[in-house]
């Protein structure tokens, strides 16, 4: 989707500050690849679309630049950045390191209530997969992992991971539609939950490690298929 197609859906909650909402909505469009790498983001058009001045637009674009999701060329233009493969690998390393400790902790002290909550997220993913609703599938995937962070008492680390996840999330979005990928994610989540419920910390870590290796193990193939979307080290 190009900018003109995306703009009609950009509505703000007037009871909240504008800049964070602009940031959130543009980030969602970039992560979902509705705004693809190279898309130009003119401030006047964005301001008109959101019904705000250019000040919150500027602030939101600066935050997106800090996250590596846009490239700002002063006095010229702003464009959606290419996917930085090196940054994606670093974000993946951070997430894997943290979540290995999280599942280790949960397997040692998990309870039936947590197992039920995690199972509901898997059920939501299964329903979204059946409806070919990829946005809902991804939302349920995120909810599964966030639930584990919250249960471990480190919800703030989830927010930290999300701050750096833009590049790897876009790689995952390119990889998800491949045949069998969604089913593998579901199977991985089931195995992680099964091992947590069985108080098998090592098994839970092994299942998580395999789960998180999926997209990054295919990065060379993704880069070959989408050369205009990526920036190699």
- Looking at residue 122, its pLDDT comes to 98
| pTM, full prediction | 0.85
- Looking at residue 110, its pLDDT comes to 75
- Looking at residue 169, its pLDDT comes to 92
Contacts of 140 by beta carbon, 8 Å cutoff, 6+ apart: 121, 122, 124, 125, 128
Between CA 134 and CA 84 the distance in angstroms is 23
- Looking at residue 9, its pLDDT comes to 64
Contacts of 2 by beta carbon, 8 Å cutoff, 6+ apart: 35, 39
Between CA 124 and CA 97 the distance in angstroms is 26
Gap between the terminal Cα atoms of the chain: 27
pLDDT tens column, 40-93: 999 999 998 898 999 999 999 999 999 999 999 987 899 999 999 999 999 999
- Looking at residue 94, its pLDDT comes to 93
Q: What is the DSSP letter of 14?
A: T
- Helix (H), strand (E) at residue 150: helix 134-151
Kindly state the tokens that stand for 65: 């630049």
- Looking at residue 11, its pLDDT comes to 77
* pLDDT by 10s per residue, the chain, length 233: 556 676 666 778 888 889 999 999 999 999 999 999 999 999 999 998 898 999 999 999 999 999 999 999 987 899 999 999 999 999 999 999 999 999 999 999 878 999 999 999 999 999 999 998 988 999 999 999 999 999 999 999 999 999 899 999 999 888 877 778 889 999 999 999 999 999 999 999 999 999 998 777 788 888 899 999 999 87
- Looking at residue 8, its pLDDT comes to 65
- Looking at residue 35, its pLDDT comes to 93
- Looking at residue 119, its pLDDT comes to 98
The residue with tokens 């898309």 is 39
């Amino acid at each position: 989707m190009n900018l003109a197609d995306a703009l009609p859906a950009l509505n703000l909650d007037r009871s909240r500050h504008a800049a964070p909402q602009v940031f959130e909505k543009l980030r969602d469009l970039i992560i979902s690849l509705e705004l693809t790498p190279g898309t130009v983001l003119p401030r006047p058009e964005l301001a008109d679309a959101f019904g705000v001045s250019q000040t919150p637009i500027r602030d939101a674009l600066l935050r997106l630049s800090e996250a590596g999701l846009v490239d700002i060329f002063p006095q010229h233009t702003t464009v959606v950045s290419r996917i930085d493969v090196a940054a994606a690998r670093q974000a993946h390393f951070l997430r894997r390191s943290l979540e290995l400790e999280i599942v280790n902790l949960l397997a040692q002290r998990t309870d039936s209530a947590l197992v039920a909550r995690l199972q509901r997220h898997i059920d939501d993913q299964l329903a979204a997969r059946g409806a070919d609703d990829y946005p809902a599938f991804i939302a349920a995937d995120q909810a599964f992992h966030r639930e584990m962070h919250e249960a471990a008492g480190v919800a703030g680390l989830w927010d930290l991971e999300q701050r750096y996840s833009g590049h790897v999330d876009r790689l995952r979005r390119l990889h998800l539609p491949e045949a069998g990928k969604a089913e593998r994610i579901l199977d991985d989540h089931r195995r992680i939950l099964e091992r947590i419920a069985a108080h098998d910390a090592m098994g839970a870590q092994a299942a998580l490690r395999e789960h998180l290796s999926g997209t990054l193990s295919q990065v060379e193939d993704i880069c070959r298929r989408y050369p205009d979307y990526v920036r190699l080290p």
